[in-house]
Structures are given as structure tokens and as C-alpha cells.
A and B are shown apart, each in its own frame.
Chain A
């Protein structure tokens, strides 16, 4: 029975039209599969090319939609050429297109023609985090005044539950400033910043919120998100950056809605 051959994964794949059809979809140098034709024996080169084009162009479009600031920096022609390489090398593995592009920032970092823009991969990382925050589960953020109810001597033991949208992105470049300048349709203007910027990304309501974290803030947030108590997280941040300002950082994170709950660690 043909059905049995389907199920046993017949090594000849006589009935696996999908294997034959996909072999050339991402490889423009391959001939169309023998299994297809036009009507009445017409050729299928241009006909098969319609599918090949649909696949490649729609996946490039998906990356363009997910990484608009990155594309604005490079210009659309550069971006689409770069994305075409990535699509052919690393096509999606999920049918959810908003999951696609997790490997794209690392690809950009190594992309030969992008070496003159060393900040580009970090902008893409920030855009990937933005998209994750956009689709993250909804949750009510912890009220900024919530810590007032915790006795001061217990604060160091306090553990925070991160909002599902909360992420930190670290960069040696002014990534937040570059991202903000290129994410809208308005004029980019002159980018003044020059120093490294770490980013907080979260979504307390329906709007994704991105801001520049102060020195040591990314280490502090990463430790808190990992479930470490406030005292240990602050110590790690001080060790990283002596000028770490604990009260400004905790106030900023609460104001941004980065957490959903705080409780005493065990």
C-alpha cells in the first residue's frame, strides 16, 4: 500500500513529492524537479520559478518587517541582499514568521559587507527583543510604589518576577540612540551619542517600551530576571560598574513596568 510506504519513510521516497519539490526552492542553480511540468508537456522552468520566488521574497519581506531600523540604516537594497543570503542559509523552522530571524543578528555580525557598521548587529538584537516583547504574554506590571510595603531590612532578600516582555540588551555601541533614530519614519538627524548603551525592553501595556539602562543596569536586570535577590544583584552590578546607582536603577525598572511581582526569597 502506498500509505504504508509513506509511514515507513520509504528510502526511495517514491511518494514523497514534497522532498522532490523542495530540493530546489532555495537553490536558484538547481533545475525544476522532474516530478512537475506545465500542461500538455510544456516546460516548468519559469513556472517552478514562481514558487522559488514566492518563498525567497516572502521570507526576505518577513525579515524586512521584523528589522525595520536595521533596513533603514543599510538601505533596502543592501538589506535585501543580506537577508537573501540569510534566508538561503537559515530558512525558518517555525510556521510562525514572527519567530523567524533569531539567528539574523549573529549572521549580520559576521556578514562580510556589514563590517564597516559594527553596531548593526546590536541594532538587530534590539529589534528582535522588541518583537519578542510585542508578542509576549500580557501581564499587569508591579506598581512602582510596591516596594514601600517591604521592611527595609528585608529588601536585600527581595526577589522579582520579570514581566514576560522584559529583556536587557548589552552593547558596546550607542544602540538605543541609533535604534530610536531609525525606528520611525521621521528624519534620522545627527546622532550625538558615542558611548556604549545597554537597553531595557519591556511592554507594561500594549506599547513596547525601550530605554537606555544606566551603568551596571544590564547586569543588575539580568541577575534579577534570573531570580537572584536584590542584594546579590546589586552587588554584581557594583562589581561591574563602581558608579552603579541602586536606587535610580530600581526606581527606573519599576517605573518602566519591568516586573510583575516581588516577594521574599527563601
Chain B
């Protein structure tokens, strides 16, 4: 629909090796792990960075990301484009995002179905939006603008939410499908977000996944969550990214990979950050599930051939 070529078909001189990301598990890149990661041999996974942390002019962040990108596939994950907000995108921020895409040639580029800036204030959280035909139109315009600027499709991430908007007239999965149809964007399926939102709003995570346009998913996120209570004393899950992935989320992940095949899968762990071996072990657990499904796919193809 938008006629955007994938990065591999672009004619330009690469500063970095291609490093394919297909079928790999990866982790959030944390600066304190740099030394341990550089000492790893062989390097198996990919690394995801929050784009905004690399929007300074120079210094150690760019030095570290250059070293990481030299050895491994990198996923560039934008956190505050406010694609889901009602106001026009911040052109300066979009320009900085494009500069990072050009500079680091990431294997994956993603952003959120959420917003974080309103008027002149940046709230540093992923805030929710109502799902209506009017907001589909607005959000689709924003996705078109991002994709047009960076010259490639993005993966849009499903949110974790704690409230609903009674004015919503569409389900989240219908809303996301409409965005895919309008913009040609891909999807980042955050399985923990599915579990958190399903729990918080009293629907089944499996039926959400059954309605989700899985054919367009290009990356999976897994993360830990925390437990609180809502006003009625019922369980309210918080997308805290501060611990290991819960068993229920691993089970959903296994089901998704069984349907989609081995997709690039990221372990997000952003606070109470563990040592590198602990984080790496969590990615290895995801890799084992990806490999098991890859083997069974290969087995099927082999048997069919």
C-alpha cells in the first residue's frame, strides 16, 4: 500500500554487516552489560535499544551502540513518538528517529500504539487512546508520516492498558487490523501486554490472540509484570518489566510461535536489571521454544517434500 521497500533492497553503502534477525531471541541492551556482552563468544542473539537513549550528539551511548551493532542485529524501539496522540507528530523528534535509522541500519524498527506528549509536556509513560474510526484515521496518518520519513515500514506494538474509554466503538484487535490495512505497517506482538490487558479488562488472552492479525507480526516482546488490585479488589496487572517472564506468558508465547513460526523474540527487562548471565538465560529459554518450533516446521516441510 505504501510502496516502501524493505531495507535489504535499498541501494546504499552499509556501514555495518547485515546480521539477519530471523528466528532469534534477544534482550534489551543495557549499558552496564556492555563489557560482558563484548566478551561473549559466540554472540547468538539480537539487542533492542530505546531510540531516545541514543539521541544525544555523541559520547559513550553511541560508542556502545556502534560496538553492539557491529557484532549483532539491532532492533530500534521508539518509546515516545506519540503515534497514538491526537496532536501532530513532533517533527524534530521524527528527524532524530530517522537519523538513528540511517546511522545504525537496524534489523527491526518499532513504535507503540500509545502517546506520551501533550501540548508541551512529556509524561514519560505509554498512555492509552479510545478506539474509534476517528482515531484510526489520525493514528494511521501518523504511521504513514513515520514510515514515509524513515523510508521503511515500522512494527507497531499493542499496548498494556489499565483503563478503557467508554467512547470506544472498536475492539483493540479490530483497531490494530484497520491500521495494518491502512498503512501497511507490521506488528510487534507484546505477549505480556496481551496477558496484562486481558486480565485487567476481564477478557480471554487466547481469544484476543485469535482475533489478532498474526500474519503481520514481525517481532514478539516478552516481559515480567507485577500484581496490584483495582478499586473492586480484583487483580490488576502492571506491565513493570522488572522481573522474569511469568509461566502464563511463556504458555501464550509457545502457542503464538506454534501458529506463526519462529519470530524474533525480545526479553524486555528495564528495571531491577539483573546480571548479564541471568538476562541471557531468559533469552536462551525463549530461543529454545523458537528452535523447537523451527525444527517441527522444518520436519513438516521435509516430510511434505
Contact = CB atoms under 8 A, between A and B. Distances in A.
A193 interface: no
Interface of A: 2-3, 6, 15-19, 21-22, 25, 32, 35-40, 42-48, 50-51, 54-55, 58-59, 62, 91-98, 133-139, 164-165, 203, 206
Query: Which 10 pairs show the lowest CB-CB distances between chains A and B?
Result: A135-B56, A2-B134, A138-B58, A95-B80, A137-B57, A43-B231, A36-B163, A54-B125, A18-B118, A47-B162
B134 to A, nearest CB: 4
A62 B201 CA distance: 30
A46 B228 contact: yes
B163 A55 contact: no
25 contacts: A2-B134, A18-B86, A18-B87, A18-B115, A19-B118, A32-B163, A36-B163, A38-B231, A42-B231, A43-B232, A45-B231, A46-B230, A47-B163, A51-B162, A51-B163, A55-B123, A55-B125, A59-B124, A95-B122, A96-B56, A133-B59, A134-B60, A135-B56, A138-B62, A206-B59
A62 B124 CA distance: 10
Contact of A92 (B57, B122, B137): B122
A61 to B, nearest CB: 8
A223 to B, nearest CB: 24
Contact of B86 (A15, A36, A95, A206): A15
B255 interface: no
Contact of A136 (B57, B163, B201, B238): B57
B297 interface: no
A35 B165 contact: yes
Given A35-B167, A206-B60, A21 B127 contact: yes
B231 A95 contact: no
Given A18-B85, A98-B56, 5 more contacts: A17-B165, A36-B163, A39-B202, A95-B52, A139-B58
A62 B80 CA distance: 15
Nearest to B201: A39
B215 interface: no
B236 A50 contact: yes
A17 B130 contact: yes
B150 interface: no
A3 B164 contact: no
Contacts of A206: 59-60, 63
A38 B117 CA distance: 23
Contact of A97 (B124, B163, B166, B236): B124
A240 B87 CA distance: 51
A58 B79 CA distance: 14
A56 B57 CA distance: 27
Contact of A95 (B117, B137, B238): B117
Contact of B230 (A18, A42, A91, A138): A42
B166 A37 contact: yes
Contacts of A18: 85-87, 115, 118, 127
Interface in B105-134: 115-125, 127-130, 134
Contact of A135 (B58, B85, B118): B58
B38 interface: no
A92 B119 CA distance: 11
A3 B58 contact: no
A6 B87 CA distance: 8
Nearest to A133: B59
A164 B57 CA distance: 10
Given A35-B167, A46-B230, A48-B162, A96 B55 contact: yes
B86 A38 contact: no
B211 interface: no
B137 A55 contact: no
B115 A95 contact: no
B152 interface: no
A210 to B, nearest CB: 15
Given A46-B236, A164-B57, A95 B93 contact: yes
A51 B114 CA distance: 12
A139 B200 CA distance: 50
Contact of B124 (A43, A47, A92, A138): A92
A263 to B, nearest CB: 23
Contacts of B124: 54-55, 58-59, 62, 92, 97
Interface string B191-216: 00000000011110000000000000
A22 B59 contact: no
A19 B118 CA distance: 7
A122 B170 CA distance: 53
Nearest to B78: A95
Contacts of B86: 6, 15-18
Contacts of A40: 202
B102 interface: no
Contacts of B162: 47-48, 50-51
B61 interface: yes
Contacts of B115: 18
Nearest to B129: A17
Nearest to B57: A137
Nearest to B115: A18
Interface in B47-69: 52-53, 55-63
